[in-house]
Amino acid sequence: MSQTDGAESSPMLTGAEDRGQLRPAGEDPALVSVERLRVTLTGSEIDIVDEVSFTLHRGEVLGLVGESGSGKTTVALALMGHTRSGLAIGGGRVIFDGRDLLTLGSELGALRGTRIAYVAQDPTSALTPTLRIRTQLREVFTTHGTERLGGMSAEDRIAELLSEVGLDRVGHVLEAFPHQLSGGQQQRVMLAMAFACRPDLIILDEPTTGLDVTTQRQVLDAIRAMCHSYRVAAVYVSHDLAVVSELADRVGVMYAGRLVELGATRSVFTAPGHPYTRALVRAIPSPTRAHVLVGLEGQPPRPGHRPAGCFFADRCEFSVQACRLRMPDAMSLDGERHWARCVRSTEIVELPAFAELPERELRATSQDLAGLLAVRGLSAGYGGTPILRDISFAVQPRTCLAVVGESGAGKTTLARCIVGLHSGWQGTIEFNGTSLAQDRRDRGRDIARRMQYIFQNPYTALNPRKTVGQLVEQPLRELFSLSRKERADRRERALDAAALSRSFSGMFPDQLSGGERQRVAIARALVVNPDLLVCDEVTSALDVSVQAAIVELLDDLKRTRGVSVVLITHNLALVRSLADDVVILREGVMVEQGATVLDQPREEYTATLLRNVPDLSITS
Amino acid sequence: MNVSWGWVSLLARAARTRRGAIGLTVTGAVVLLAIIGPFIAPHSPTVSQTAPFAPPSGAYPLGSDGIGRDVLSRVLAGGWLLLGVAAASTLLGVGAGLLIGIFAAYRGGIVDSMLMRIVDVLLAFPPLVFALLIVSVLGRHVWLLLIAVSISHTPQVARVVRAAALDVSARDFVRAVELLGTPSRRVMTGEILPNLLSVVMVELGLRFTFAILLIASLSFLSFGIQPPAADWGLMINENRIGLTVNPWGVLVPVVLIAVLTIGLNTFTDAIARASLGLERPPEQMDLVATGIVSEATL
């Protein structure tokens, strides 16, 4: 065990970090070297990001991962000498090809777009809606000079770029306006634009978030191919560890504004040295392995409220007295360029990351079309446009049925038909043997109680003007006549069941984190003792560690309270960790169904979906 | 951040900003003057005291008007009726607009279309002409003035509230309550209304300003508050012929009405900004919005 002076204190970092690395001698020096980068709130000493140091070589992809608010985007933007308004770079150096970007001033503008390129998360807002793609791509060369064409005509170069990012029908794409292209095509146009001037460094900020798995796979392939063929150094910012694991050569893990672990992708994800990385890895569902997810409780300390010691100590199962005294130094692990900021990292790195996590037991389900909820021949549409065609399945008591599909598959419409928010469908939906009316208003109180819907977005599903207590008691007021005491009793039990502290009762939704809000929504559903929970993408707005905790909760409710769950999701990996039975939907039609669909897919579509899901455990 | 997001908290947050503090102070001073004015007026506001259009003197600091009444006493006594009618008509008008707006937005469909077409017709009348029409046909009564001003508020408020309520009723928490079988009246009052608070506060401020101007204009045109009562709008009309002899009879009411409306507008603006969370410097709000920093940090 050796303690590097690197990330903590000295300008020797580059040397220290590179010590013992496996690069051949004579390799070019680092393209980018970040030294003790510090970003603060303008005009204050409150740091958003501090003590961030790493190096990046040509042709290397560095993944920066972390949950929302961890400072990963702030670091990525600082690599261009940029900060969001309200923030300022408070110290440190960003050496790019021998020059410190932070002292460059006006020359910086010339570097951006030519030698350093940036791809934003949302291509729809990055492309001008009123200009054709051809015009927008040509602008790159008019702005940065036609000498960047490398002797080609602009037309040829643009066509070459588009085929390099994997777009076919180039002529069609060039003539199109942005809205005529799909999200994946738009993002590939953004990539082409970024690579147009043959940059040395490209910064990708969550470029595949919001894309379906199949499209995501195509965009990731394009990024990987472009980075390798142009020998471009890339920083890939993402909250999705599985995506990063497939693309990045090295990974840096951010937590509360600090880089807590850095190393080769494989060693970081298979043998994490920081308890936070370990927790993240264990929270991620796998499409190939049905392991039990372990969530991470609590929240990272906010800027301005960070403790003296390790920022993770309060949530850490390994914390000891020493953790709370001072921020741990970076400890070098396994002799390579892998280090973690944890006093016990040499012990933790020896622990199996997730191999010992128990596999879930799959419950054998009957294919019988009775059950608690039975959907038969359901077809539905909006204003004449058919969305769902001939859907039939059943949900057995005490089981979880997952409905999986990409965007446009009709998942949410299906959920809304079941709960009665969408009328105008044909077919039958039976609940406990009784056929349900189309509209919620004709279904009666008993159904309203026994079937509860949990919305996708916990930020809009709770009335911001009501306290948690009022929100959870609301179904009781509507569906029962109970005394104040009885209501308070049941409210407290529901909060307990949703693993929320009873002290939340007096708080308003905007004082809660996303995960806590989703738990309040679950408590609101549980308070009336339902038989069925219809969960529509309930984790898609949440961070992975929070997602794992919600999945744990749903699984627990199913086992201990005998609640059945209909889980609507696009996340195949999540299905493994929760569902007993699976329905695959594609463009409103059922592709296949069964408990073994993920293990032995019968249909090509399912197999393709499964292949395209990024998987962390493949690296291990 | 405050635990309660109620209207008191919104007003308090607005008042704590520079803009809000200035607006509130200025408005408060004029309102206070109008309320205690009648009790501290040195002379009767309606009885002739001295020569017409007498210039300021020791006994009559602002001189006298066209029939020798004390201008200072008339200024002190002439505010409360204006403010009272303006406040009452604002409450009535905004209340009615709020009901129509929420109902139209939540019900949607044919109900929405019909209500909005009626509102559009009302909007087509210039408010002043509309009020003149009512008062000239039905007679010059204060209660009629109040109703005419209220009705001229209603369509604008209904439009604004409907737009905001459409946004709120599309949110998932409204669906969640509907799934419980809550009657729509309670959905509107319990779920939608509380989320329109900031819109309503801003409308109240705007409409109050507007009402003051409208009533003062009507009084100036002699269709509002009637002589011999003291009223700022009326005073401007009565004293404009003596403008060159004793300008105070016009200038003081003009300045008071201007200060009052500007002050109110400033405070309303502060409420609007506070309700959007804009009371902080813009760059800090960006950070909160993007989730880099929580409210509590700043």
Indicate whether A24 pLDDT > 80: no
Q: Provide the mean pLDDT of chain A.
A: 84
Indicate whether B29 pLDDT > 50: yes
A484 in B contact zone (CB under 8 Å): no
Which of A6-10, B91-95, B117-121, B209-213 is predicted least confidently? A6-10
Please judge whether A464 and B5 are an interchain contact, meaning their C-beta atoms are less than 8 angstroms apart: yes
Which of A132-141, A368-377, A415-424, B189-198 is predicted least confidently? A368-377
Spell out which residues of chain A touch residue B284, defining contact as CB-CB under 8 Å: 41, 86
The bridge status of strand A400-404 relative to strand A581-586 is: parallel
Range list of H helices, A53-153: 72-78, 107-111, 123-126, 133-144
Q: A21 or A166, which is more confident?
A: A166
- Predicted local distance difference test score (pLDDT) of residue B247: 86
Among B72, B74, B76, which Cα is nearest to B36's? B76
Please judge whether A69 and B292 are an interchain contact, meaning their C-beta atoms are less than 8 angstroms apart: yes
- Predicted local distance difference test score (pLDDT) of residue A8: 38
Q: From the CA of A408, how many Å to the nearest CA of chain B?
A: 20
Note if the bond before A509 is cis, omega within 30 degrees. no
Q: Could you report the per-residue pLDDT of B121-175, keeping only the tens digit for each?
A: 988 888 888 888 888 888 888 888 899 999 988 999 999 999 999 999 989 999 9
Indicate whether B240 pLDDT > 90: no
The bridge status of strand A425-431 relative to strand A434-435 is: antiparallel
- Predicted local distance difference test score (pLDDT) of residue A28: 65
Position A288, amino acid: T
Of A178-187, B92-101, B185-194, give the range with the top mean pLDDT. Answer: B92-101
A169 in B contact zone (CB under 8 Å): no
Share of residues in chain A with pLDDT > 70 (%): 92
Q: From the CA of A238, how many Å to the nearest CA of chain B?
A: 15
Spell out which residues of chain B touch residue A478, defining contact as CB-CB under 8 Å: 177, 180-182
CA separation for the pair A60, A238 (Å, rounded): 16
Q: What residues does each domain of chain B span?
A: 7-297
CA separation for the pair A340, A329 (Å, rounded): 8
State how far Cα A350 lies from the chain centre.
Answer: 27
Q: What is the pTM of this model?
A: 0.78
CA separation for the pair B109, B86 (Å, rounded): 34
Please judge whether B292 and A304 are an interchain contact, meaning their C-beta atoms are less than 8 angstroms apart: no
pLDDT band at A361 (very low <50, low <70, confident <90, very high): low
- Predicted local distance difference test score (pLDDT) of residue B215: 87
Among A338, A197, A193, which Cα is nearest to A277's? A338
Distances (CA, A) of B81 to A314, B36, B88, B143, B239: 63, 12, 10, 12, 19
- Predicted local distance difference test score (pLDDT) of residue B30: 92
Spell out which residues of chain B touch residue A125, defining contact as CB-CB under 8 Å: none
CA separation for the pair A91, A276 (Å, rounded): 26
A151: β partners: none
pLDDT band at A560 (very low <50, low <70, confident <90, very high): confident
pLDDT band at A17 (very low <50, low <70, confident <90, very high): very low
Q: From the CA of B47, how many Å to the nearest CA of chain A?
A: 54
Q: From the CA of A430, how many Å to the nearest CA of chain B?
A: 17
Quote the radius of gyration of chain A (alpha carbons, Å). 26
Smallest Cβ–Cβ distance between A302 and the set B281, B282, B297 belongs to B297
Beta-carbon contacts of A388 under 8 Å, excluding residues fewer than 6 positions away, are: A378, A379, A380, A381, A410, A413, A414, A417, A425, A588
Please judge whether A69 and B172 are an interchain contact, meaning their C-beta atoms are less than 8 angstroms apart: no
Indicate whether A471 pLDDT > 80: yes
Distances (CA, A) of A69 to A15, A46, A201: 30, 14, 24
pLDDT band at A4 (very low <50, low <70, confident <90, very high): very low
pLDDT band at A301 (very low <50, low <70, confident <90, very high): confident
Q: B253 or A368, which is more confident?
A: B253
- Predicted local distance difference test score (pLDDT) of residue A296: 81
- Predicted local distance difference test score (pLDDT) of residue B298: 45
Q: Could you report the per-residue pLDDT of A154-211, keeping only the tens digit for each?
A: 888 888 889 888 888 888 999 999 988 888 889 999 999 998 888 999 999 988 877 8
pLDDT band at B287 (very low <50, low <70, confident <90, very high): low
Average pLDDT, integer, range B207-233 = 85
Please judge whether A455 and B1 are an interchain contact, meaning their C-beta atoms are less than 8 angstroms apart: no
State how far Cα A249 lies from the chain centre.
Answer: 19
Specify the length of chain A in residues. 620
CA separation for the pair A425, B187 (Å, rounded): 26
A179 in B contact zone (CB under 8 Å): no
- Predicted local distance difference test score (pLDDT) of residue A620: 44
DSSP output for A293-333:
P----S-PPPTT---SS-TTGGG-TT--GGGGTSPPPPEEE
As to burial, measured by CB atoms within 10 angstroms (0-12 exposed, 13-18 middle, 19+ buried), residue A22 is exposed
Quote the radius of gyration of chain B (alpha carbons, Å). 23
Sign of torsion over alpha carbons A565, A570, A576, A582: positive
Spell out which residues of chain B touch residue A510, defining contact as CB-CB under 8 Å: 1, 5
Instruction: Please name the residue of chain B whose CA is at the shortest distance from the CA of residue A439.
Output: B179
Smallest Cβ–Cβ distance between A465 and the set B5, B284, B296 belongs to B5
Please judge whether B179 and A453 are an interchain contact, meaning their C-beta atoms are less than 8 angstroms apart: yes
pLDDT band at B279 (very low <50, low <70, confident <90, very high): low
Spell out which residues of chain B touch residue A86, defining contact as CB-CB under 8 Å: 281, 283-284, 286-287
Indicate whether B281 pLDDT > 60: no
pLDDT band at A234 (very low <50, low <70, confident <90, very high): very high
Smallest Cβ–Cβ distance between B195 and the set A84, A452, A465 belongs to A465
Position A6, amino acid: G
- Predicted local distance difference test score (pLDDT) of residue A26: 46
Instruction: Please name the residue of chain B whose CA is at the shortest distance from the CA of residue A74.
Output: B292
Beta-carbon contacts of B42 under 8 Å, excluding residues fewer than 6 positions away, are: B59, B70, B72, B73
Q: Could you report the per-residue pLDDT of A31-86, keeping only the tens digit for each?
A: 999 999 999 888 788 888 999 999 999 989 999 998 877 888 899 999 988 888 78
CA separation for the pair B70, B115 (Å, rounded): 50
Instruction: Please name the residue of chain B whose CA is at the shortest distance from the CA of residue A305.
Output: B297
DSSP output for A342-381:
-TTHHHHTTS-SSTTSPBPPPPP----S-SSEEEEEEEEE
Distances (CA, A) of A251 to A55, A71, A245, B192, B205: 11, 15, 8, 46, 55
Indicate whether B280 pLDDT > 60: no
State how far Cα A269 lies from the chain centre.
Answer: 16
CA separation for the pair B116, A31 (Å, rounded): 63
- Predicted local distance difference test score (pLDDT) of residue A423: 83
A41 in B contact zone (CB under 8 Å): yes
Indicate whether A529 pLDDT > 80: yes
Indicate whether B78 pLDDT > 90: no
A475 in B contact zone (CB under 8 Å): yes
Sign of torsion over alpha carbons B224, B230, B235, B241: positive
CA separation for the pair A312, A306 (Å, rounded): 10
Indicate whether B1 pLDDT > 70: no
Q: In what order do the strands lie in the sheet with A250-255?
A: A2-3, A331-333, A338-340, A258-264, A250-255, A61-65, A233-238, A201-205, A116-119
Please judge whether A511 and B181 are an interchain contact, meaning their C-beta atoms are less than 8 angstroms apart: no
Which of A9-18, A312-321, A523-532, B114-123 is predicted least confidently? A9-18
Indicate whether A349 pLDDT > 60: yes
Domains defined along chain A, listed by start: 2-115+197-348 (3.40.50.300), 373-612 (3.40.50.300)
Indicate whether A351 pLDDT > 90: no
Indicate whether A369 pLDDT > 60: no
A465 in B contact zone (CB under 8 Å): yes
Asked if residues A469 and A507 have their Cβ atoms less than 8 Å apart, the reply is: no
Give me the CATH topology for the region B7-297.
MetI-like fold (1.10.3720)
Please judge whether B181 and A464 are an interchain contact, meaning their C-beta atoms are less than 8 angstroms apart: no
Sign of torsion over alpha carbons A305, A308, A310, A313: negative
Q: What is the dihedral of CA A187, A102, A68, A235, to 10 degrees?
A: 40
Smallest Cβ–Cβ distance between B171 and the set A87, A445, A460 belongs to A460
Instruction: Please name the residue of chain B whose CA is at the shortest distance from the CA of residue A463.
Output: B173
Please judge whether A420 and B171 are an interchain contact, meaning their C-beta atoms are less than 8 angstroms apart: no
Q: Report chain B residues touching chain A, CB-CB < 8 A.
A: 1, 3, 5, 171-173, 175-182, 191, 194-195, 197, 281-284, 286-287, 290-294, 296-298
Of A237-241, A599-603, A608-612, B97-101, give the range with the top mean pLDDT. Answer: B97-101
Spell out which residues of chain B touch residue A84, defining contact as CB-CB under 8 Å: 286-287, 290, 292
Please judge whether A478 and B182 are an interchain contact, meaning their C-beta atoms are less than 8 angstroms apart: yes
Average pLDDT, integer, range A564-575 = 88
The bridge status of strand A331-333 relative to strand A2-3 is: antiparallel
- Predicted local distance difference test score (pLDDT) of residue A469: 92
Asked if residues A163 and A170 have their Cβ atoms less than 8 Å apart, the reply is: yes
Indicate whether A364 pLDDT > 60: no
Q: What are phi and psi of A58, to 5 degrees?
A: -60, 140
A536: β partners: A568
Distances (CA, A) of A73 to A76, A237, B284: 5, 7, 17
Instruction: Please name the residue of chain A whose CA is at the shortest distance from the CA of residue B170.
Output: A460
Please judge whether A42 and B283 are an interchain contact, meaning their C-beta atoms are less than 8 angstroms apart: yes
Please judge whether B175 and A455 are an interchain contact, meaning their C-beta atoms are less than 8 angstroms apart: yes
Indicate whether B56 pLDDT > 60: yes
Beta-carbon contacts of A99 under 8 Å, excluding residues fewer than 6 positions away, are: none
CA separation for the pair A54, A21 (Å, rounded): 14
Q: Crossing angle, helix A514-526 and helix A468-479, to 10 degrees?
A: 20
